[in-house]
Amino acid sequence: MAKKLAGTMKLQIPAGQANPSPPVGPALGQRGINIMEFCKAFNAKTQEMEPGAPCPTVITYYQDKSFAMDIKTPPASYYLKKAAGLKPVGKRNRPKGAETPGREVVATVTAAQVREIAEAKMKDLSANDIESAMQIIAGSARSMGIEVK
């Protein structure tokens, strides 16, 4: 007999750093999901990834309080900021792109770096080949004020 679906939710959690504190704990707790079980499973699945890389996660939870998770690759902006070598700034100490993209260039990345990012993100992009995936990543870079050379 199939499990009855209760709902789905999306969270962005740093790889290997899921813990019961906010925002993870309350989001899971109010839906009746075992928080510690989720944290252990998530941290085990993201063990090979770079620690602290933001991982968009889709959690499907069922009426019997079980769950399934689909962990996606970190956002293209994370990879682009890392490749461009942008330094952390601001309140949350995170790297930022340009204030006015299109007019201001904050960094540059090479076509080889864009290809590498496209290959890493290929399974989550809606692209049929690596060339179209590179165009998607280049568009993200352009909208952040990062120039592709």
pLDDT tens per residue across span 62-109: 888 888 889 888 888 888 888 888 776 655 666 677 777 777 888 888
pLDDT in tens, 32-46: 888 888 888 998 988
Buried b (16+ CB within 10 A) or exposed e, 48-61: eeeeebebebebeb
pLDDT of residue 100: 77
Query: Which homologous superfamily does the CATH classification assign to the domain defined by 5-71?
Result: Ribosomal protein L11/L12, N-terminal domain (3.30.1550.10)
Average pLDDT of the chain, as a whole number: 84
pLDDT bin (cut points 50, 70, 90) of residue 126 is: confident
pLDDT of residue 109: 85
Whether the Cβ atoms of residue 28 and residue 42 lie closer than 8 Å to each other: no
pTM of this structure: 0.78
CATH architecture entry for 76-148? Orthogonal Bundle (1.10)
pLDDT of residue 23: 81
pLDDT of residue 58: 92
Domain with CATH 1.10.10.250 in the chain: 76-148
Domain with CATH 3.30.1550.10 in the chain: 5-71
How many CB atoms are closer than 10 A to CB 47?
10
